Amino acid sequence: MMSYSAPIRDLTFAATELADLHGVCRLPGFEEVTAELLQSILEEAGKFAGEVLAPINWSGDQQGVRLENGQVRTADGWQEAYQQFIQGGWNGLPFATEVGGQGLPWLVATAVAEIWHAANMSFSLCPLLTQSAIEAIQAHGSAQQKATYLPKLVSGEWSGTMNLTEPQAGSDLSAVKTRAVAEGDHYLLSGQKIFITYGDHDLTDNIIHLVLARTPHAPPGVKGISLFIVPKFLPDAHGNWKLRNDIETLSLERKLGIHASPTAVLGYGAKSGAVGYLVGEENHGLIYMFTMMNVARHAVGVEGNGVAERAYQQAVAFAAQRIQGREIDDPSGERVAIIHHPDIKRLLLLQKCRIEALRALALLVGGCMDHERRQTDAQLQTRAREMVEIMTPIVKGYATELGLENVSLALQVHGGMGFIEETGAAQHYRDQRITPIYEGTTGIQALDLIGRKLIRDGGAMNGRVIERIREQCGALANARELAAMTDGMAKALAILQESANSIVASAADNMQLPAAVSEPYLRLWGVVACGWQMLKAADVSLTKQQDKQPADGRGDQQDATFYRNKLHTARFYFSSEMPKVHALGEIISTSSQLVVAADASLFQAG
Amino acid sequence: MKILVAVKRVIDANIRVRVKPDHSGVETANVKMAMNPFCEIAVEEALRIQQAGDAEEVILFSAGPQKCQETIRTGLAMGADRGLHVLTDERLEPLAIAKMIAAAAEQQGADLIILGKQSIDDDHNQTGQIVAALMRRALGSYISEIKKVAGGFAITREIDAGLEKLRITSPAVVTTDLRLNEPRYASLPNIMKAKKKPIDELSVADLGVDIGCRTEILSVVEPPARQAGVMVSDAGELVDKLKNQAKVI
């Protein structure tokens, strides 16, 4: 009923034709990566996801997790699946071979990650968190810390967590209260952390918590936060990691979705103090966190879109077999599957064009992350870094918000059956709902986009990125055939630049004003960035179609269908999604005063 | 000991198969292909024998169009050492495939040949048997267990009456049943290694066998659609219909 088939053809297309896999393969260290290797990896990942992870997605949701005598137990099948996952070497895909990883590009990792998230979001959160912990230790840990923790985290023998949030410190981490007091070669931590994904579980022998805390004389606010490694088990006298640290799982949250992913309340140091080891220097914790934040935010965007793909597949399958009504222009004809009805087709097309555009955008950013890390040409590296800077909040914010609309549309396709849990569409709707919230809400992403990425340098970097997109769209091989789309793109870019200018200008008067329209601005950027991807996709498809004309063989026939459909999907995007830029431009230019001027009385009942 | 495993590229087991409009066969264009599930079991068993230290090399064999190399590559990613691919676009019958496998096994000096008991596309269940006959080797078909012993193999066969335990001499041919093992998933490190493993491409002429067809496909049709059922009012009517209409009692 709820099978999942990885969209390997489209992932390959997006990676090779749109995100420039070949350019990434030329970076130092990636010489062995080829399109064929990507294909094999995606096929095997798709097989594993479809046969091992997807089948326990629903049962995991229904069973959930439980806390028994201070130990969290995951759902049936979770341990076996995790063992298979790490034995397959999947956990270490993008990490350095020196620490046991496979040293593959983030571009490849992004494509594979979509498959895991789509197959089983609750499961895939465990490796996602481990990945973030690895990034943080890799970037800022001491040589000894790297040697101690990285091999086991990369292999997946141990998992990692991120401990930021406290009851009074959510989006505002300056309010963190957890204390860390130096004692010899370590610190003793005490305090409470909430919303800790996979904060405790029974999948690994040890859990490495990365914890934000304050030392006794730290300056107030974000400048006084330090980062600590706090393992669930510490080494005993023989060096065996069996000694239980002073960390207690106080409770598990009851949530709207991701029921199989434990969200823990962790109590640190209730007895003697939890032993922790400082990462880097004191008071630099938040800066360290930010280095891995880009990767984590990008990953959540991929997750939001991955779940939408899963929901879409289910909606298509349902629409193809659900018989209701007759063709609207043939009332006396046979009863037909609802996929024949124009409004159902529209619902499915909307999901398809958005998912494919967001997939391409996420992969493009994955490729830029590789250039950012390994490109030897300084100019190209800067370009890649700027693209990552701008696009990270967009991938996180827009892919999750649009993903939310998409899972809702997927449920809608099912009609009443969608509202019934057994159908399974509801699970995706519930699971996906967290993605615009965690790892920084959409509001936080929007503030990042207008603050650090726009206003800070007066819009210079933003302008450069827009200009590069404009150049690329102006230089398409099939610009003439795609005139309607390139015109639409040019108008959209103009509106985007105009909106950016007005935001920069209004910031000089009063920061309240740009903040009030930051979310519509993020959406505007999202619509345009996705349009850019679909325009490129249309251009490639036209070229490929022409190239393929005289070719022989069945493989090409298969390709011809793919490119024809891709062109169709791109055209639909430009007719149904792109026009939103006009409304968003209007909202940005007219609504900020009204938001700022609204005082508390306006929200009072009555 | 060298093991030769035959692997076949077939329509993926999860795909709904459609007959071509001209009834010449089933539609394979635009269709997802995969390794025949029984062949996966054969590869897995060969790898287990190798991991137990009873075999030095696992060689994969496939015959058919260029794309068969993808299927071989899948087996290499599971852990097999190298591949042999006989490139041909001809329609292949079990006899032709068996001749090629026998010739290749001879050339390679394979002591054990493992095949799936049948492929899920044609369901012939013949190739392994023909290979054994052509090579005059011991045959263990439908095995659910195999163990290397002095001078041969101890095997368990799944037969209608239950399980048959036999000892067969080496060299031998065995065909796998469903319960022999559960095939592994290719690990990421092995997928990356598989890229560098050699696949030797052969022509039919290299093997010196005649692959001409002995049969002709007249027509391929879909199974008849199921008819709607009828409600009967009582047992008498049911018996009457079974006797006179269905003529089954």
Report the SS3 class of residue A578: coil
User: Is A582 a member of any domain?
Assistant: yes
User: Is A13 a member of any domain?
Assistant: no
Whether the pLDDT of residue A562 is over 90: the answer is yes
Cα of first residue to Cα of last residue in chain A, in angstroms, is: 48
User: Is B134 a member of any domain?
Assistant: yes
User: Is B164 a member of any domain?
Assistant: yes
CB within 8 Å: B29 and A557 = yes
Whether the pLDDT of residue A552 is over 60: the answer is no
Per-residue confidence band for A556, with pLDDT thresholds at 50, 70 and 90? low
Same domain, A377 and A489: no
Same domain, A441 and A348: yes
Answer yes or no: A439 catalytic.
yes
8 A C-beta contact, residue A268 and residue A192: yes
**A429-453 pLDDT tens trace:** 999 999 999 999 999 999 999 999 9
User: Is B238 a member of any domain?
Assistant: no
In the prediction, which pLDDT does A2 show? 67
User: Is B206 a member of any domain?
Assistant: yes
> Element (H or E) spanning A437, and its range?
none
Same domain, A277 and A292: no
Rounded to an integer, the average pLDDT of A578-596 is: 97
Cα distance between residue A246 and residue A152, in whole Å:
21
Cα distance between residue A31 and residue A47, in whole Å:
26
CB within 8 Å: A40 and B73 = yes
**A117-155 pLDDT tens trace:** 999 999 999 999 999 999 999 999 999 999 999 999 999
For residue A103, the one-letter residue type is G
Instruction: Give the alpha-carbon dihedral of A440, A446, A447, A451, to 10 degrees.
Output: 130
Whether the pLDDT of residue A70 is over 50: the answer is yes
Please give the angle made by the CA atoms of A73, A75 and A81, to the nearest 5 degrees: 105
Q: Tell me phi and psi for residue A170, to 5 degrees.
A: -100, -100
The closest CB to that of A44, out of B29, B30, B77, belongs to: B77
Whether the pLDDT of residue A77 is over 50: the answer is yes
Three-class HEC string of A452-499 = CCCHHHCCHHHHHHHHHHHHHHHCCCCCCCCHHHHHHHHHHHHHHHHH
Supply the mean pLDDT for chain A.
Answer: 95
User: Is B110 a member of any domain?
Assistant: yes
8 A C-beta contact, residue A245 and residue A49: no
User: Is B227 a member of any domain?
Assistant: no
User: Is B245 a member of any domain?
Assistant: no
User: Is A279 a member of any domain?
Assistant: yes
**B152-185 pLDDT tens trace:** 999 999 999 999 999 999 999 999 999 999 999 9
For residue A224, the one-letter residue type is G
Entry pTM: 0.92
Sheet bearing B112-116, strands edge to edge: B162-169, B152-159, B138-149, B172-176, B112-116, B2-6, B57-64, B82-87, B199-202
Whether the pLDDT of residue A516 is over 50: the answer is yes
Residue B106 has, within 13 A of its CA and on its CB side, a CA count of: 16
Cα distance between residue A170 and residue A213, in whole Å:
14
Same domain, A248 and A268: yes
- Check residue A225 and give left, alpha or beta (phi > 0: left; psi -120 to 50: alpha): beta
User: Is A232 a member of any domain?
Assistant: yes
Rounded to an integer, the average pLDDT of A62-89 is: 97
Report the SS3 class of residue A422: helix
> Element (H or E) spanning A56, and its range?
helix A55-63
In the prediction, which pLDDT does A293 show? 81
> Element (H or E) spanning A126, and its range?
helix A121-140
Residues listed for chain A: 606
User: Of A445, A468, A503, at which residue does a domain stop?
Assistant: A445
Domain count of the fold of chain B: 1
Same domain, A249 and A314: no
**A327-347 pLDDT tens trace:** 999 999 999 999 999 999 999
The shortest C-alpha distance from A87 to chain B (Å) reads: 7
Per-residue confidence band for B102, with pLDDT thresholds at 50, 70 and 90? very high
> Element (H or E) spanning A413, and its range?
helix A378-413
Q: Which of A309, A439, A519, A577 is catalytic?
A: A439
Q: For residue A237, what are the CA distances in angstroms to A213, A234, B113, B169, B208?
A: 27, 10, 53, 56, 69
User: Is A44 a member of any domain?
Assistant: no
Closest B-chain CA to A51: B185
Give the CATH number of the domain where residue B48 resides. Answer: 3.40.50.620
Q: For residue B103, what are the CA distances in angstroms to A486, B1, B8, B110, B124?
A: 60, 18, 17, 10, 21
Same domain, A231 and A330: no
User: Of A283, A303, A318, at which residue does a domain stop?
Assistant: A283
Give the CATH number of the domain where residue A65 resides. Answer: 2.40.110.20
**A6-40 pLDDT tens trace:** 999 999 999 999 999 999 999 999 999 999 999 99
Least confident of A154-168, A396-410, A555-569, A581-595: A555-569
Whether the pLDDT of residue B136 is over 50: the answer is yes
Same domain, A581 and A519: yes
Please give the angle made by the CA atoms of A531, A536 and A540, to the nearest 5 degrees: 145
Same domain, A324 and A414: yes
> Element (H or E) spanning A92, and its range?
none
In the prediction, which pLDDT does A557 show? 65
Q: Which residues of A touch B192 (CB under 8 A)?
A: 32, 37, 102
**A291-337 pLDDT tens trace:** 778 889 999 999 999 999 999 999 999 999 999 999 999 999 999 99
Identify which of B36, B207, B5 has the alpha carbon closest to the alpha carbon of residue B113.
Answer: B5
User: Is B193 a member of any domain?
Assistant: yes
User: Is A577 a member of any domain?
Assistant: yes
Q: For residue A150, what are the CA distances in angstroms to A126, A144, A347, A402?
A: 16, 10, 45, 35
Q: What percent of chain A has pLDDT over 90?
A: 94
Written as one string, the DSSP assignment of chain B is -EEEEE--EEE-TTSPP-B-TTSSSB--TT--EEE-HHHHHHHHHHHHHHHTTS-SEEEEEEEESTTHHHHHHHHHHHT--EEEEEE--S---HHHHHHHHHHHHHHHT-SEEEEES--TTT----HHHHHHHHHT-EEEEEEEEEEEETTEEEEEEEETTEEEEEEEESSEEEEE-GGG--PPPPPHHHHHHHTTS-EEEE-HHHHT-----S-------PPPPPPPP---SSHHHHHHIIIIIS---
**B24-56 pLDDT tens trace:** 999 887 788 999 999 999 999 999 999 999 999
User: Is A21 a member of any domain?
Assistant: no
User: Of A385, A415, A445, at which residue does a domain stop?
Assistant: A445
Same domain, A171 and A71: yes
Q: Which residues of A touch B25 (CB under 8 A)?
A: none
Same domain, A385 and A528: no
- Check CB contact of A93 with chain B, cutoff 8 Å: yes
The residue ranges of DSSP E strands in A476-566, in sequence order, are none
In the prediction, which pLDDT does B31 show? 85
8 A C-beta contact, residue B90 and residue B195: no
Same domain, A333 and A377: yes
Same domain, A298 and A277: no
The residue segments making up the domain with residue A183 are 54-88+120-283
Query: DSSP label at A27?
Result: S
Whether the pLDDT of residue A548 is over 70: the answer is no
Q: Which residues of B touch A108 (CB under 8 A)?
A: none
Three-class HEC string of B112-168 = EEEEECCCCCCCCCCHHHHHHHHHCCEEEEEEEEEEEECCEEEEEEEECCEEEEEEE
The residue segments making up the domain with residue B34 are 2-218
Cα distance between residue A94 and residue A108, in whole Å:
8
Cα distance between residue B179 and residue B176, in whole Å:
8
Domain count of the fold of chain A: 3
Read off the tokens for A383.
């370009």
Please give the angle made by the CA atoms of A253, A256 and A257, to the nearest 5 degrees: 95
Q: Which of residues 17-46 of A touch B (CB under 8 A)?
A: 32, 34, 36-37, 40-41, 43-44
Q: Which residues of B touch A30 (CB under 8 A)?
A: none
